[in-house]
Amino acid sequence: MLTPKQYKLLMFIDNFIKENGCCPSYEEMKEAVGIRSKSGIHALIEELTERDFIKKMPHKARALEVLKIPRFKPREIIEEEKKARQALRNAAVAIPLYGKIAAGTPIEALADESEQIAVPYEMVSRGNFYALTVEGESMIEAGILDGDTAVIRKCDTAENGQIVVALIDNAEATLKVWQKNKDEICLIPRNPAYEIRKFHPSRVKVQGILSGIIRKYH
């Protein structure tokens, strides 16, 4: 089993060579491993060479070849990676807040890039996102209430049953369940007091799919 610093250096050298086609400098190795002295890096290289993880290329300055990668990571490296992942999950990401969207009567969607809102990283880790403030009560049976912030993943297609931001006639936006039939689009509320709205497919565009809801309690 390699020590954490041996493992870090070996993996850094391997990844650097694959990405750049050459070996990293001693300064780059020092920064990657967290060692201040060149002699410390030299000692690690010697240790990895003696254990047949790397080989020095003859007649070339600081040229190394990675011979093998260990099957198992040092326990300390595993713990460091767990802490890093947990810190990332706990982190917040700022996304644009584009104003208000109706969950009852459609209103014009206003895209104001100047205002942002912080949301959990896990909610927006894959894709491009924006947020809208919900107005109205047409989606209350889906757990979406007036005043909630809807986190939306940008896309232009949706599957039947997904909750989407639908843009109607390039002017109005609404948050509804998407249902596409052969010759019409149905925008379905989740409140029996509201009617299903039907449109020709040419009149409706998907602007995004609901990823999550953020609610403030006063």
Q: Which residues are catalytic?
A: 138, 176
Strand 129-135 relative to strand 92-102: parallel, antiparallel, unpaired? parallel
Decide: 171 and 111 in contact? Cβ < 8 Å: no
Decide: 22 and 61 in contact? Cβ < 8 Å: no
State both tokens at 87. Answer: 């810190």
Strand, coil or helix: what is 163?
strand
To the nearest 10 degrees (0 to 180), the angle between helices 4-20 and 75-90 is 70
The residue among 154, 215, 163, 157 whose CA lies nearest residue 189 is 163
C-beta neighbour count of 25 within 10 angstroms: 13
Rounding to the nearest 10 degrees, give the CA dihedral for residues 196, 199, 203, 205.
50
